[in-house]
Amino acid sequence: MRDHNKLRAFELADEVALLTYKFTANFPREEQFGLTSQMRRAAVSVPSNIVEGCGRQTEAEFLRFLDIAYGSLRELEYQTSLGVRLGFGADHPDYQSKLNKTSKVLAALIRSIRKS
């Protein structure tokens, strides 16, 4: 088993989850059960799946959960773009930058595990 706290991908994903709650805090009330909820679930799914994967016994299981985390992150990237285009949230360069960095780091981790 692995310690998720030692993974840069987890650190970044955790920061993204926190930032997502802040980013969606001022979305319209009617989106509370729509886009706001979807984005928050996707954001929490990323670090949660990294943690769950770290608790698995095999590399294949770990990789499976990292793949799920990456899929949730890509979903969140789209939802963020949609929210900005709908005018629900201001375009936050720091948030976008953190999403991009997390995506790159997580993809690199996945690639390195696949090679081994």
- Chain centre distance of CA 36: 14
Compute CA 116 distance to the chain's CA centroid, rounded to the nearest angstrom: 24
**CB neighbour class for 75 (10 Å; exposed up to 12, middle 13-18, buried from 19):** middle
Q: Which residue has the higher pLDDT, 49 or 94?
A: 49
Rg (alpha carbons) of the chain, rounded to whole number: 14
Task: Give percent above pLDDT 90 in the chain.
Answer: 88
pLDDT tens for residues 68-79?
999 999 999 999
pTM: 0.94
Mean pLDDT of the chain: 94
Domain annotation for the chain: domains and CATH numbers: 4-115 (1.20.1440.60)
